Structure 1
Amino acid sequence: MEQFAPKFQEEYAAKIPALTLLASLGWSFLSPQEALAKRGGKQDRVVLREVLRDVLSQRTFHYAGKSYPLSENSIDNIVSHLCSPALNEGLRHANEAIYNHLMYGIPVTEFVDGKKVTPTVSIIDWQNPDNNQFHFTEEYTVTRAGGFESRRPDLVCFVNGLPLVVIEAKRPDGNAQKGPTINEGISQSLRNQRPDEVPHLFAYSQLLLSVNGIDGRYGTVETPEKFWAAWKEEDISDAEMLALKNKALDDATLQHLFDHRDKRDLSWYHNLIAGGELMVTGQDKLLISLLSKERLFDMVRYFTIFDKKNWQDCGSLPASVWHQTTA
């Protein structure tokens, strides 16, 4: 029975609950090996190019009252453009440029019956969230900028192959000398954004989270630690959150989530849910509030600002963070 005793390492307290909750929210899990394959087996790449190409192959443009598929040349150009963030001007500029592409699309050149047309292609279908592909993975190994060593964020969430959310999951028990474990995750996230680390991952990030199983905070690229904020939910009821937390995952989904792990992990999880209804933690509330598909889209579209005047003090902040930290 000892293997089913409560476990407080980050895997059991924070990461596995986050993985299962994301699956309940409708995100599709990719094992670390599957995620690597979808970026061509190269750890210096951060975009799931295979997914991005698949999405773009289904995009169309309109001309003279008719709809046309994108040419392979246009798809190649969009993928190349999105996969080459302009980090030479700094992470915040690269992040803002990617954000603008997400908001306004990318123009391409097409030829219809010999006539040149320049449609703008949407990368994300904001009006119809389900017309996009949502994936998440764990232990996402990314080669550092210098080409030596690597970093491995705990969880990364992708929309149409682009890594829009990076999550650090820590254990709930803090070291009194180091402070709360949430702060450890924030510090790690800030370190990984440095020019000699993995800034090419964060060029795409729209939300960054640090969780510890009990609670969590969120920010965006270059948000200083003191401005990472808790989320206060007003629209999603406690009953709705409880239902999502305890939503039963089908056997195929669970098998996929745990296949690459030690078999004891799945046994531990089965025993956990067999013990009765699970309580909703602060971590759960943060994930549901920010990473439900519609809510994530609202946050990115309507509540993200790039305030150049206050950048040195505040970084790139979702408007809600800015409001909370200045109120």
Structure 2
Amino acid sequence: MEHNTPKFQEEYAAKIPAMTLLANLGWTFLAPAEALALRGGKQDQVVLREVLRKVLSNRTFVFAGESHPLSNNSVDNIISQLCSPALNEGLRHANEKIYNHLLYGMPVTEFVNGKKVSPTIQLIDWHNLNNNEFHFTEEYSVTRANGLDSRRPDIVCFVNGLPLVVIEAKRPDGNAQKGPTVLEGISQSLRNQRPDEIPHLFAYTQLLLSINGSEGRYGTVETPEKFWAAWREEDINDAEMLALKNKKRSSDDINALFAHRHPRDLAWYQNLLAGGDLMLSGQDRLLISLLSHERLFDMVRYFTIFDQKIGKIVGRYQQVFGIKRLIERIQKRRSDGSREGGVIWHTTGSGKSFTMVFLSKTLILTDALKQCRVIVVTDRVDLEDQLAKTFASGGELSSKKDRESAMATSGKRLAQQIGRGNERIVFTLIQKFNSATKLKNATTQAQILLC
């Protein structure tokens, strides 16, 4: 009779449902003792080194038309670099450095038949999900910076041994005077990022979630509480989500999740399943939307930027789905070979500048569109300057020279940039199109753009 009683503690209301759903999404569970063994039994180490080593040992590089495996020395060097985040310059800097390694890979030195080569090795295979390892664990003990005690985030998700997601699970019944329990999880996550806590874990994280069984919010490293966002899914319908939530799993799979727990936890879960299909919660929708493997890769690769003023930014659902629809549209061709166009409507303060940066990044990283050029048209000098700074800060204009060459300083310059230039990004005021098309040698491209 005890197991029929509803449980409202965070374990039964939030954490166990989150863990079972992650397993249904294709994440492999590691009991806390297994996860500790994979990091050499050291709680001050946060990377699952043995998993990372296995992945890197299977990576290859091409030289002179032939594929070669990584040497043990290169594998050791990559692991050594990755496991020593530069926290002396602050968490944000350390996180950005590791993010760049994730996105662009890491160079190594190899010798093939006596010849020195310097290939770049991808830590994550962004194009083939099956070439990556996905694990998660609970109660992940990490030694604090003082070396005396530890913190235990509720759930940590790893890709190739790197802790990319941290989840705090809270009970759904909060104290009304303290506010929703989701806020407690956010507060705990922010506390754990402080220099005297466990910042070495957050040097790797890309998404942070706070859930309470019925709802959830997400952010990233150093996201202030007020900017942790809800999610509204537009691509995965409820029928698909319900199928994932109620995916039938073998007894062995279920037992693996509960083997390290008290038997009553497994009995409670089995009793829950006996009642029939489980309903979707807001927590389920958030986890499916952000932590299915493909979506997580999209969020990390396309919808994450670092702004020098604001910090690390991860896209909101409006930006993500707006850009997804735009990418789908511009890949379509009319009968005359031209592309389809469209409009994304923004209100003041809705993040349109960052939407443009996300879009440019997505275009450049999408194989079918990476040769594209982006022309940003505004109607005010101050907005043009602001956008240029946003692009530069977000990493799309890597130097002052890039930014200067991207600016259309006159109608003549604009016509030249469009017709014969090779700048990937061009900024212009709409007024300059008027003078550009009146030039004797005005390009047909400028005329077409004006139309």
Q: Structure 2 length normalisation: TM-score?
A: 0.71
SS at match of 2:185: helix
The aligned counterpart of 1:249 is 249
Deviation at 1:322, TM superposition (A): 9.4
Higher RCO (CA 8 Å, separation ≥ 6 residues): 1
Query: 2:315 corresponds to which letter in structure 1?
Result: A
- The equivalent residue for 1:319 is 315
Larger radius of gyration: 2
Opposite residue 309 of structure 1, the aligned amino acid is K
Query: Normalising by structure 1, what TM-score?
Result: 0.97
Provide the rounded CA distance (Å) in 1 between the counterparts of 2:13 and 2:251. 22
Q: What is the one-letter code of the residue matched to 2:87?
A: L
Query: Using the alignment, how far apart are the partners of 2:231 and 2:318 within structure 1?
Result: 12
- Counterpart residue number, 2:331: none
Cα deviation digits, residues 48-77 of structure 1 (max 9, x gap): 000000000000011001011000000000
Displacement of 1:3? 2.4
Q: Which amino acid aligns with 2:193?
A: Q
Identity of aligned residues (%): 75
2:227 corresponds to which residue?
227
Is this contact kept in 2: 1:211–1:217, CA < 8 A?
yes
Shift of 1:323: 5.4
Matching residue of 2:176: 176
- Equivalent positions of 1:54-203 (< 5 A) are 54-203=54-203
Would you say the 8 A contact 1:60–1:67 is kept in 2?
yes
Whether contact under 8 Å (1:170, 1:182) holds in the other structure is yes
Equivalence for 1:29: 29
Q: Distance in 2 between matches of 1:139 and 1:322?
A: 33
**Other structure's SS at 2:298 match:** helix
Displacement of 1:310 after TM fit? 2.3
Task: Give the Å deviation of 1:4.
Answer: 1.9
CA contact (8 A) 1:227 1:321 kept: no
> Which residue does the alignment assign to 1:18?
18
Q: Deviations over 1:15-55 (max 9, x none)?
A: 00000000000000000000000000000000000000000
CA contact (8 A) 1:55 1:132 kept: yes
Matched residue of 1:230: which SS? coil
Q: How large is the RMSD of aligned CA atoms in angstroms?
A: 1.3
Deviation per residue, 1:170-206 (Å, 9 max, x gap)? 0000012211100000000000000000000000000
Q: Which residue of 2 aligns with 1:299?
A: 299
Does structure 2 conserve the Cα–Cα contact (< 8 Å) formed by 1:4 and 1:271? yes
| Distance apart, 1:154 and its partner CA | 0.1
Question: What CA distance in whole angstroms lies between the structure 1 residues aligned with 2:209 and 2:95?
Answer: 17
- Any conservation in 1 of the 2:142–2:151 contact (CA below 8 Å)? yes
Q: Which runs of 5+ in 1 are unaligned?
A: none
Match of 2:316, SS? helix
Match in the other structure for 2:207: 207
8 Å contact 1:165–1:206 — kept in the other structure? yes
Q: In 1, Cα distance between the equivalents of 2:90 and 2:69?
A: 35
Whichever residue aligns with residue 306 of structure 2, its letter is F
Q: Contact 2:233–2:317 at 8 Å: present in 1 too?
A: no
Shift of 1:326: 4.1
Aligned residues: 323
Amino acid at match of 2:100: N
Question: Any conservation in 1 of the 2:3–2:271 contact (CA below 8 Å)?
Answer: no
Partners of 1:198 and 1:319 in 2: how far apart? 25
Residue 272 in structure 1 maps to residue 272 in structure 2: yes
User: Contact between 1:158 and 1:164, CA under 8 Å: does it hold in 2?
Assistant: yes
Task: Confirm or deny: 8 A CA contact 2:232 2:317 kept in the other structure.
Answer: no
Contact 1:219 1:321 in 2 (8 A): no
- 1-structure distance, mates of 2:309, 2:197: 26
